[in-house]
Amino acid sequence: MVDTHAHLEFPEYAADLDGVIARAASAGVTAMICVGGEIPRNRFIAELVGIRRCLRAAYGIHPHWANGNTPAEEQWVREQCAARTTVAIGEIGLDYYYDYAPRSRQRDVFERYLALARDEGRPAIIHSRDAFADTFDVLKNFQPLRGVVHCFTYGLPEVEAFMSLGLHISFCGQITFPKCDALRAVASAVPLERLLLETDCPFLAPAPHRGKRNEPAFVRLTAEKHADLRGLSLGAIDAATTRNALALFGDSLPAGD
């Protein structure tokens, strides 16, 4: 299994990162993509992937931190694309739920990193919350573009629209929550060849760990829910989503070895 969206650079893992990675391996997780979002976190991820064989990196500026983006940071991210460990640009996108940065600034930074991803031949890891229309409008202007809409929480019309752009879709632990029937229906509608696994740890731990610190080992629980929804085995979900991750992020992922 591949956890395509983890934040192991967060301080929540400072005391026991070795244990977190060991538990992930025991759960069958062979690779984790550490996804940046602000300048200090991008730098720490670069350190982590240099010393942890099971980790890969994505670098970008999260919409929350759009005000902190600089041309120098864009250049740094561009330079990291020369490394085999850099598999994506992200996370980038629009967040109108919190609006920590002006929407115009969020959109400008989103567009700049999409252009960078296109120039460097890297997929984009896209964050979109309460911002479907503008996210879709921006993405239409960057076709063709490879990428994934992570932590998907929209409905069926939105998932169909994003998939019409050729994007993959990923769901977090919410699909295991008792009251998330609508989201489970959306997850079930995504073709298996477009599905990816993620935790978004340390956030959104799946049941029965809801409310606790999430970690990559728990992606297995989300995979089990996908299997249950589709009437498939866990092995089938593992094989398909790992194949999808390799196709999107490249064969540098240590998947299956």
pLDDT of residue 257: 43
Please give the radius of gyration of the chain, using alpha carbons only, rounded to the nearest integer: 17
pLDDT of residue 256: 54
Set out the domains of the chain in order of their start, with CATH numbers.
2-249 (3.20.20.140)
101 DSSP 8-state letter: S
pLDDT of residue 251: 87
Name the pTM for this structure: 0.97
Query: Taking the alpha carbons of 219, 225, 230, 236 in that order, is the dihedral positive or negative?
Result: positive
In order along its 257 residues, the chain shows pLDDT tens digits of: 999 999 999 999 999 999 999 999 999 999 999 999 999 999 999 999 999 999 999 999 999 999 999 999 999 999 999 999 999 999 999 999 999 999 999 999 999 999 999 999 999 999 999 999 999 999 999 999 999 999 999 999 999 999 999 999 999 999 999 999 999 999 999 999 999 999 999 999 999 999 999 999 999 999 999 999 999 999 999 999 999 999 999 988 986 54
Q: Which residue has the tokens 């919190």?
A: 98
Give the pairing of strands 147-149 and 168-171: parallel
Task: Answer yes or no: are the C-beta atoms of 61 and 109 closer than 8 Å.
Answer: yes
Return the closest-CA partner of residue 244 out of 161, 123, 68: 123
